Chains A and B, each alone.
Chain A
Amino acid sequence: KNQVEQSPQSLIILEGKNCTLQCNYTVSPFSNLRWYKQDTGRGPVSLTIMTFSENTKSNGRYTATLDADTKQSSLHITASQLSDSASYICVVSPNTGNQFYFGTGTSLTVIP
């Protein structure tokens, strides 16, 4: 069964600290994995997309990694800011069919 699981479900960190969010998937055959950031009351915004051959991709203070062998991805946030408080959603697309699979997200709260 194709699934995407994210951990932790929620996380609270101090401003300036780093954190890492996890995404494990069983989707196969794999095409790409995307991380979205969703601010409260807003729609999701794409942060990164990674294909099978990519191991790491950065977008400012956000760095995503992918291990296609173990079917794991992580999103590392460096020097967190209050504006990083949001939900982070992992989305995995297979390379067949028209479906894709969403994780339920990690809720991150950055406190001063």
Chain B
Amino acid sequence: DAGVIQSPRHEVTEMGQEVTLRCKPISGHNSLFWYRQTMMRGLELLIYFNNNVPIDDSGMPEDRFSAKMPNASFSTLKIQPSEPRDSAVYFCASSPVAGGVGNEQFFGPGTRLTVL
């Protein structure tokens, strides 16, 4: 298996622009997680899905952030409009077991976002 696939790997954009990050989870996995990582705050859980349904989005920082999972093999994280403080590495992870955040998660390589 190719593991969790994220695209793009790097994104540089200007403040105010819309940014869309994409994730393909490991086939057969039932849970998908979006994280943000910065030097100051470490890893933060933004949102997670079980069987394509959003379960907990309390970590989404603002209404500018939205996430969708239209099917079991694809998810997007959108930031509109983007701001410089959104600059971070965004990770997607998937887990073979639905229902809990404590199960092992398999992380993608991340998308490094820079907002100028």
Binding site for B on A (CB under 8 A): 31-32, 34, 41-46, 49, 89, 93, 98-100, 102-105
Contacts and interface: CB of A to CB of B under 8 A. Distances in A.
Interface of B: 4, 41-45, 48, 55-56, 58, 91, 93, 100-102, 104-105, 107-110
Contacts of B55: 98
A89 B35 CA distance: 14
B21 to A, nearest CB: 14
A43 B101 contact: no
Going nearest first, the 7 A-B pairs with the smallest beta carbon separation are: A43-B107, A93-B102, A104-B42, A98-B56, A102-B43, A100-B101, A46-B104
A43 B42 contact: no
B109 A42 contact: yes
B44 A100 contact: no
A103 B105 contact: no
A43 B108 contact: yes
Contacts of A34: 102, 104
Contact of A41 (B48, B56, B93, B109): B109
Contacts of A98: 48, 55-56, 100-101
Contacts of A49: 102, 104
Nearest to A42: B109
